[in-house]
Amino acid sequence: MFKKILLSGALSILGVALGVFGGWELSAYRFARDRRAFETVVGPDFVNAYGVMARLKVLDMGTATRLQHPKQGTERHREYLQMTLDAAAKGKKEITDPTVLTLIDMETGVAEVRLAMLEEAVGNPSAAHAWMGKAQAAMQTAGWKDCSEVHLRAVVQNMNQQDAL
Amino acid sequence: MKNPQLAGMAIAIGLLIGVPVGYHVNSVFTRGERALGQMSVDAEYSSFAILQYQQADAQRARQALLGFVNFSKQIDHLPDGQADKTLLTDVGLSYVRLARLEEQAGNPELSQQYVSLAQDSFKAAGRDYSRDDLMKRVSGL
């Protein structure tokens, strides 16, 4: 009798495990179908732009937070900012919408200003100067009226405070 | 097990419990992931439009604000996606900024149209602003 109960319990647990897996897959199938329908309606450009913007926002918040709480050190900050630049460069290849391309230019410029400020803080004036030059070019492409070093620093410092978690 | 009926019942009970649990857990995760993604994208595009309005030339500012407004319309097509009150308010503010740009560019009729659209958007978000209120915002934003 005891053996029977034990075996029934084990089979029930097996059933639950199979059920959870099946239910999970069923739900995943439903969401995948919804997503395909959404992609058909809005088109691949919007889907690509959506993905790129989501990635950039997450990286932007992460960078701003790390820069506000500098426990991880310069090397980690540099790596994180480089990740933003890589994501922006990759995004530029996937996007055709001119407005989203401008958004990527702006994000690139912001990351480059942050790198310039970082290099300056650790005593690398030549690297800081090079990054600032790139940032100014990116912001000019984005149509900014004032691309002076002082102004870009002020805007990005403000963003660092606002975007930090 | 000598009794196959009992074994079948045990598995069936397990499946009856497991399938809805698995379905629900996946739905919660996926909806959460989508909501987070949508919030990130809304925030990214909205901040970009504001920065362009503050920093860029009028043409680029207009392009960014209109891009954000069009984007918010596409959000309605997202599965489970809908323009929430925050997004509707951001869209309303974008229309107010567009109205100001057009006012400065000497296009009063277009400016008025944007004020009306802003009014609609704020209304959908549950805020009823009069045309005068918005016009004050247009000159003060």
Q: Is A57 on the interface with B (CB under 8 A)?
A: yes
Sign of CA dihedral A142, A147, A149, A150: negative
CB contacts < 8 A (A, B): 156
pLDDT at A80 over 80: yes
pLDDT score at B115: 92
Residue A70 has pLDDT above 70, yes or no: no
Q: Give the model's pLDDT for residue A99.
A: 93
Length of chain A: 165
Quick check: A69 pLDDT over 80?
no
A54 near B CB under 8 A: yes
- Best of A99, A146, A158 to disrupt the B interface (most B CBs within 10 Å) is A99
**Residue A12 confidence (pLDDT) above 60:** yes
pTM: 0.81
Which residues of chain B are within 8 Å of residue A20 when distances are taken between CB atoms?
A: 18-19, 21-22, 25
List phi, psi (to 5°) of B56: -95, 170
| B30/A27 Cβ within 8 A | yes
pLDDT category, A86, cuts 50, 70, 90?
very high
Q: Which residue of A has its CA nearest to B20?
A: A23
Ordered per-residue pLDDT tens for chain B, 141 residues? 567 888 888 889 999 999 999 999 999 999 888 888 888 888 889 999 999 999 999 999 999 999 999 988 887 767 665 567 888 889 999 999 999 999 999 999 999 999 999 999 999 888 888 877 877 766 655
pLDDT, position A112: 96
Q: What is the ipTM of this complex?
A: 0.81
Q: Number of helices (H) and strands (E), helices first, in chain A?
A: 6, 0
Nearest Cα neighbor of A163 from A53, A57, A59, A61 is: A61
Write the DSSP string, B32-98: HHHHHHHHHHHHHHHHHHHHHHHHB-HHHHHHHHHHHHHHHHHHTTSTT----HHHHHHHHHHHHHH
Q: Who's near B67: CB < 8 A, 6+ residues apart?
A: A97, A99, A100, B45, B49
> Please, which residues 17-46 of chain B have a Cβ atom closer than 8 Å to chain A?
17-27, 30, 37, 40-41, 43-45
